Structure 1
Amino acid sequence: MEIAEFLLTNAGAVIIRASNGKEAVEAFAKSGVGEVNVILMDIMMPVMNGLEATREIRTMNRSDASAVVIIAMTANAFTEDKTKD
Structure 2
Amino acid sequence: MNAQEAVELDNLIRKIQQDQGVTVVLVEHDMKLVMKICDRITAINFGAKLASGTPEDILKNKDVIDAYLGQGDSLEEELLNA
TM-score, normalising length from structure 2?
0.33
TM-score, normalising length from structure 1?
0.32
Q: Which has the higher helix share?
A: 2
